[in-house]
Amino acid sequence: MTKKQSKEAESPLKILRERLNLTQEELARQCRIPLRTYVRWETGEATPRPTIPQVKALCRELGVSIEELPDQFGPVRE
């Protein structure tokens, strides 16, 4: 099965970011997260282990409370 054929939901983090019309680079820079790290979180390539300042920055920049910040940053694979 090709990637296009697989059923894969979008990353919850990507959905929040795109609502604000931010690029991955813009959000990563604003949150002081290395771009490659952020990309790996959003694509599910790496397990997110953000620092407390990064969590605070993500909440602030995305306009969400900590409770609204998704537990899983990457796509949910079925």
The string of pLDDT tens digits covering residues 14-60 is 999 999 999 999 999 999 999 999 999 999 999 999 999 999 999 99
Predicted local distance difference test score (pLDDT) of residue 8:
62
DSSP state of 68: T
**pLDDT of residue 6 exceeding 70:** no
**pLDDT of residue 2 exceeding 60:** no
| pTM of the predicted structure, to 2 decimals | 0.83
Which residue, chain included where needed, has tokens 């605070």? 56
DSSP secondary structure string for all residues of 14-37: HHHHHHTT--HHHHHHHTT--HHH
Work out whether the CA dihedral 13, 44, 30, 22 comes out positive or negative.
negative
Predicted local distance difference test score (pLDDT) of residue 9:
81
